[in-house]
Amino acid sequence: MYVRSAVKGRSAAWYRGVLETNQGRIWAGRVEKDVSFVAAEPAVFDEVDAAYRSKYRRYAGRILNSCLTPEARATTLKLLPR
C-alpha 36/C-alpha 70 separation (Å) is 23
- For residue 32, the model assigns a pLDDT of 95
- Residues 36-58 have pLDDT tens digits of 999 999 999 999 999 999 988 88
pTM, rounded to two decimals: 0.88
- Residues 8-44 have pLDDT tens digits of 899 999 999 999 999 999 998 899 999 999 999 999 9
Q: In the Cβ-directed half-sphere of 34, how many Cα atoms lie within 13 Å? A: 4
The answer to whether the beta carbons of residues 23 and 69 sit under 8 Å apart is no
The answer, yes or no, to whether residue 62 has pLDDT greater than 90, is no
The beta strands (E) that lie in 1-76 are given as 2-3, 23-28, 31-39
Three-state DSSP class for 30? Answer: coil
